[in-house]
Amino acid sequence: MTAGFWQRLDKTGRNLAPFAVTVMLVLVGLVPLQIPSYAVVAPQFALTAVFYWAIHRPDLMRPVTVFLIGLLQDLLSGGPLGLNALVLLLVHGIVLNQRRVFLASTFALMWVGFGMMVTGAALLQWAAYSLLSGTALPVWPALFQALMTLAFFPAIAWLLLRVHRAFLQG
């Protein structure tokens, strides 16, 4: 085997890091905990990852990749097929549109932007679930899920930053 083959293999592996880490976060977010009603308010780690990668490496987090991650999350969670995919694609598109603003901002402003994004995503999911059930569901679980996701943002962003530095800038 030539050195060129190993270099291409290494580059491919590094380029798959955002996808692999996001899938890992989907799986971690779906781990059932013995906390009453946790599944309803579990943080959306995949949303955080899509937000981060759309800002810092949009070339490695393409819409097709985002769609597949959302579809995987839908299949594993048992939710309506395509809902998480749609939400993640909307977040991805909005973040790409505002990427320059996020790149030029401080972490605190990025966190505020993420807060707006996750609140909008939670309300969209709440509206979809209400529409599918035929009745207005309580909005508080959706808002609490958004709050939980927002609270975990610094830790997940730190993890993604470490992955970014270790695999993609080396």
pLDDT in tens, 91-140: 999 999 999 999 999 999 999 999 999 999 999 999 999 999 999 999 99
Average pLDDT of the chain, as a whole number: 92
Q: Which pLDDT belongs to residue 169? A: 67
To the nearest 10°, report the CA torsion of 157, 36, 85, 111.
-30
The answer to whether residue 170 scores a pLDDT higher than 70 is: no
Q: Which residues are CB-contacts of 111 (< 8 A; sequence separation ≥ 6)?
A: 150, 153, 154
Asked if residues 137 and 122 have their Cβ atoms less than 8 Å apart, the reply is no
Q: Which pLDDT belongs to residue 9? A: 83
pLDDT in tens, 28-56: 999 888 888 777 788 999 999 999 999 99
Residue-range domain boundaries for the chain: 23-31+42-160
Q: Which pLDDT belongs to residue 32? A: 83
The answer to whether residue 148 scores a pLDDT higher than 80 is: yes
Nearest by Cα to 150 from 54, 47, 30: 47
